């Protein structure tokens, strides 16, 4: 059986790379905006969940050079992220690919087995489909965090005009805190995702660029853990590979 399959639709690939651009610029410009007042509480007050109130983020992590420039970049990327997110979610719904990431009964058990495997407690890679249970959890959480980021961003952008959205987060400072935390969590998930791609499944880079994926080089076929059996193992399949159509 041929091992080369078409894994990622062009819509998924396009929205993936647009998200990379939008999130990086939004995060950098957002941190530059935050540095204009590096605290969640008003001047003279304290915010109980931030022991670093008043401490700015290192300038090398920020983008936009100055407050006005950062705001322009931030709002431009906000609309790009919203439009791109709507295209992605619409594609998942109408194309049926939502089934690949929606949580299902048994995912908690499967995620636990993946953790046991990564910790060398379990010897063999658990069976998986397109994504393992840990990947599914991350891929499902990312759009949810994106929705929270957009709503909390609107709440702090127009706290009077869009007061009904601000009220969802209690008030302005809590909306700002949720916005910051949600973006931080999204960045952490993205960094973990990049780490796992390069240390466990570098062959998936081809799939997110061209769409094609070699199942014979999947982590399950290679019994791959981070940095372990990275470039293949005795378990790697020797099945003939299908040549994609021109």
- What does the pLDDT profile of the chain (246 residues) look like in tens digits? 468 888 889 999 999 999 999 999 999 999 999 999 899 887 777 888 888 888 999 999 999 888 999 999 999 999 999 999 999 999 988 888 888 888 888 888 999 999 999 998 999 999 888 888 898 899 899 989 999 999 999 999 999 999 999 999 999 999 999 999 999 999 999 999 999 999 999 999 999 999 999 988 899 988 888 877 555 444 444 343 344 443
Question: Which residue ranges form the domains of the chain, and what is each CATH number?
Answer: 4-222 (1.20.950.20)
Residue keyed to tokens 């466990």 = 200
CA gap 78, 146 in Å, rounded: 10
pLDDT at 128: 84
Distant-in-sequence, close-in-space partners of 4: CB < 8 Å, separation ≥ 6? 212, 213, 214, 215, 241, 242, 243, 244
Query: Residue 232's pLDDT is what?
Result: 46
Tell me how many degrees the CA angle 230-236-238 measures, rounded to the nearest 5.
Answer: 140
CA 152 to chain centre: 18
Is there a contact between 216 and 3 (Cβ–Cβ < 8 Å)?
yes
Q: In this predicted structure, what is the pLDDT of residue 238?
A: 39
Using left for φ > 0, alpha for ψ between -120 and 50, and beta otherwise, residue 106 falls in left
Q: How far apart are CA 103 and CA 146, in angstroms?
A: 17
pLDDT in the model for residue 129: 80
Residue 124 CA to residue 221 CA, distance in Å, equals 10
Asked whether 181 and 152 are in contact (CB, 8 A), the reply is: no
Q: Is 145 helix (H, G, I), strand (E, B) or coil?
A: helix
Please tell me the predicted confidence (pLDDT) of residue 58.
Answer: 93
Residue 245: the pLDDT is: 45
Encoding tokens for residue 152? 């909390």
- Evaluate whether 107 touches 139 at the Cβ level (below 8 Å): no
Residue 1: the pLDDT is 47
């Amino acid at each position: 059986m041929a091992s080369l399959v078409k894994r990622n639709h062009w819509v998924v690939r396009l929205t993936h790379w647009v998200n990379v651009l939008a999130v990086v610029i939004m995060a950098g410009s957002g941190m530059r905006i935050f540095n204009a007042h590096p605290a969640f509480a008003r001047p003279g007050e304290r915010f109980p969940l931030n022991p670093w109130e008043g401490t700015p983020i290192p300038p090398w992590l920020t983008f936009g050079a100055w407050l006005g420039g950062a705001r322009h970049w931030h709002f431009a990327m906000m609309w790009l992220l919203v439009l791109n997110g709507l295209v992605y979610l619409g594609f998942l719904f109408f194309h049926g690919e939502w089934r690949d990431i929606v949580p299902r009964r048994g995912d908690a058990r499967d995620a636990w087995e993946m953790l046991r495997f990564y910790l060398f407690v379990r010897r063999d890679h658990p069976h998986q489909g397109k994504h393992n249970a840990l990947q599914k959890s991350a891929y499902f959480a990312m759009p949810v965090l994106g929705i929270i980021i957009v709503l909390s961003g609107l709440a702090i952008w127009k706290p009077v005009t869009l007061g009904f959205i601000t009220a969802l987060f209690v008030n302005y400072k809590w909306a700002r805190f949720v916005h910051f935390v949600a973006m931080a969590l999204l960045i952490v998930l993205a960094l973990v995702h990049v780490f796992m791609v390069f240390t466990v499944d570098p062959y998936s880079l081809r799939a997110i660029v061209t769409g094609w994926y070699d199942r014979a080089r999947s982590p399950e076929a290679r019994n791959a853990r981070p940095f372990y059996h990275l470039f293949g193992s005795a378990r790697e399949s020797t099945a003939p590979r299908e040549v994609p159509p021109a």
